[in-house]
Structure 1
Amino acid sequence: MNILFVCTGNTCRSPMAEALMKAKEHDAEIKSAGIFAGANQPIATNAAEVLKELGLTFDNTSTQVDEELLEWADVVLSMTESHKQTLALQYPEFEDKFFTLKEYVYIKEDQWRHLTDLYALLEEKRAWILSQVEEDLSEAELEEHLLKELADEIDAIRKAEQELPNLNIVDPYGQNKDVYRRTRDELDETINALVKKLSSKNK
């Protein structure tokens, strides 16, 4: 399995994720890249130092996401939902490969299916309401009417979303070493769960 970790500049989170993942036992091939990465930038000093505390190094330089990397990857694991959305806009043909790291590790398929079904139901009912509404309603009146009619659906979506974990890895860029250390540990915990998931898939 080929795994591509993605963040913004490929100097903090995704290189730490690559180094942490490569240090664990699994059969996956690992690379990292940044959506807006400059060419051949070194890993951030604090990122390198907190990896060194675990006896790890990242010897590569920054790489920008491109079609060749996305073709190579079986799965693309971003650090935030914003990264995932940006990738989907720029490379819609690869959208089925895009997940946030935490989403891929922690969210069960039936949870996503339930939430997707709720959104589909909301849009279906919204379209029906709009087809029935009187044309002379002002924009504010229409908004108020929709919120009232869709209150149950909106509440169900809100409850389903509250059951999901925060899917973003904290960005330590420009912060002190303690922040980098917390991000490293958050990544390490999540990647341990990723390795466990991959291992169970291979059995």
Structure 2
Amino acid sequence: MAEALLKAKKLPNVEVKSAGVFAANGSSASTQATEALLEKGISHQHSSQVLDLELINWATHILTMGESHKQMVVAQSPRAIEKTFTLKEYVQGIKEDIADPFGGSLSIYRYTLEELNELIDKLGEKII
């Protein structure tokens, strides 16, 4: 959902790629994620990919949803420590995870989408 929101905002000079530390290559977004995005007028064709060294090296910034994800990125590539942050850490300067809606109801996905939307709006203000 974060990737879809970032792409929908069309921030200048920002290219977005989504990858997961627990993802399986080629999976589509959950029905709940797709529905929550469609309610916001965002249509997004998602195909998951596993985070790998090529993506880590490609990125100028790596923003994770939680601290455990951040630690897994850094464990995979210790040099990435300088460019890896949780989204809340980068935007708000706080150490707090974004709740993972995986397996939850549509209302939980809506809640997470709203949280992401607010953070990504602030991210857009910070990087422009």
The residue that corresponds to 1:197 in the other structure is 126
Q: Which runs of 5+ in 2 are unaligned?
A: none
CA distance in 1, matches of 2:100, 2:85: 17
Question: Between Structure 1 and Structure 2, which shows a larger proportion of helix residues?
Answer: 1
The residue that corresponds to 1:150 in the other structure is none
Tell me how far 1:166 sits from its aligned partner: 5.1
The residue that corresponds to 1:167 in the other structure is 96
The residue that corresponds to 1:19 in the other structure is 4
**SS where residue 33 of structure 1 aligns?**
coil
Task: Give the TM-score of the pair, scaled to structure 2.
Answer: 0.94
CA distance in 2, matches of 1:166, 1:71: 24
Tell me the alpha carbon deviations over residues 5-45 of structure 1, each in whole angstroms, 9 at most, x when there is no partner.
Answer: xxxxxxxxxxx001111111422111110012111000011
Task: Give the TM-score of the pair, scaled to structure 1.
Answer: 0.61
1:87 aligns with 2:16: no
Question: Contact 2:53/2:76 (CA < 8 Å) preserved in 1?
Answer: no
Equivalent AA in structure 1 for residue 11 of structure 2: H
CA distance in 2, matches of 1:190, 1:177: 20
Equivalent AA in structure 2 for residue 94 of structure 1: A
Equivalent AA in structure 1 for residue 47 of structure 2: T
Residues 92-171 of structure 1 mapped to structure 2, 5 A cutoff: 92-107=78-93, 165=94, 167-171=96-100
Q: Could you say which structure has the larger radius of gyration?
A: 1
Q: Which runs of 5+ in 1 are unaligned?
A: 1-15, 108-164
Question: Between Structure 1 and Structure 2, which shows a larger proportion of strand residues?
Answer: 1
1:70 aligns with 2:56: yes
Tell me the alpha carbon deviations over residues 50-98 of structure 1, each in whole angstroms, 9 at most, x when there is no partner.
Answer: 0000111221300110111111100000000111111111211222111
Residues 1-40 of structure 1 mapped to structure 2, 5 A cutoff: 16-27=1-12, 28-40=14-26
- State the Cα RMSD in Å: 1.1
